[in-house]
Chain A
Amino acid sequence: MIYLFQLVNGIGLGMLYFLLAVGLSIIFGLLHFVNFAHGAFYLLGAYLVYDMTERGVNFWAGLLLAPVVVAGLAALTEAVLLRRIYHLPHTFHILVTVGLALMVQELVIILWGPVGGNVSPPDVLGGVFMLGDFIYPQYRLFVIGLTLVLAIGLWWLLEGTRLGAVVRAGSESTDMVSLLGIDIVRVNTAVFALGAGLAGLAGALAAPIRGVEPFMGVEALGIAFVVVVIGGMGSYTGALIAGLLVGIVQSVMATLWPEGARLMIYLGMGLVILTMPRGLLGRA
Chain B
Amino acid sequence: MNRASLHFVLAALVAIALPLFMRSGTLASEVLIFAMAAAACNLLLGYTGLLSFGQGIFFGLGSYAAGLTLLHTSLPLGAALALATIAGAVAATGVGWLSIRRQGVYFVMLTLAFSQFFYFLAYTFKDVTGGDNGLLNIPRPAIGPFALGESWAYYAFVAVLFLLVFAALQRVASSTFGRTLLAIRDNEERARAIGFPVRLFKITAFAVSGAVTGLAGALHALLIGVAPLSSIEYHMSESILIMTIIGGSGNLFASVLGAGFYVIVSDLLSSIWPRWLLLLGGLLVVVALFMQKGLWGLLERLVEALQNGRKSPVEAPVRPESEGRSI
Contacts and interface: CB of A to CB of B under 8 A. Distances in A.
A206 B116 CA distance: 20
A207 interface: no
A80 to B, nearest CB: 12
A228 interface: yes
Given A92-B288, A102-B277, A226 B51 contact: no
Contacts of B98: 270, 273-274
A222 B278 contact: no
Nearest to B285: A99
Centre residue among A91, A229, A233 by max chain B CB count within 10 A = A91
A280 interface: no
Interface residues of B, number: 43
Nearest to A269: B113
Interface in B280-327: 280-285, 287-289, 292, 324-327
B245 interface: yes
Task: Classify the secondary structure of B's interface with A.
Answer: helix
Interface residues of A, number: 42
Interface string B222-262: 00000000000011001001100100000000000000000
B281 A106 contact: yes
Contact of A99 (B104, B283, B326): B283
Contact of A263 (B102, B121, B292): B121
A231 to B, nearest CB: 12
B234 A110 contact: no
Given A100-B281, A274-B98, A229 B109 contact: yes
Interface string A27-46: 01000001000000000000
Contact of B324 (A91, A221, A259, A269): A91
A150 interface: no
B83 interface: no
B326 A89 contact: yes
Contact of A91 (B51, B120, B121, B283): B51
A15 to B, nearest CB: 20
Interface of B: 51, 98, 101-102, 104-106, 108-110, 112-117, 120-121, 123-124, 234-235, 238, 241-242, 245, 275, 277-278, 280-285, 287-289, 292, 324-327
Interface of A: 28, 34, 81, 85, 89-92, 94-96, 98-103, 105-107, 109-110, 218-219, 221-222, 225-226, 228-229, 233, 259-260, 262-263, 266-267, 269-270, 273-274, 277
3 closest residue pairs by CB, A with B: A89-B326, A102-B281, A99-B284
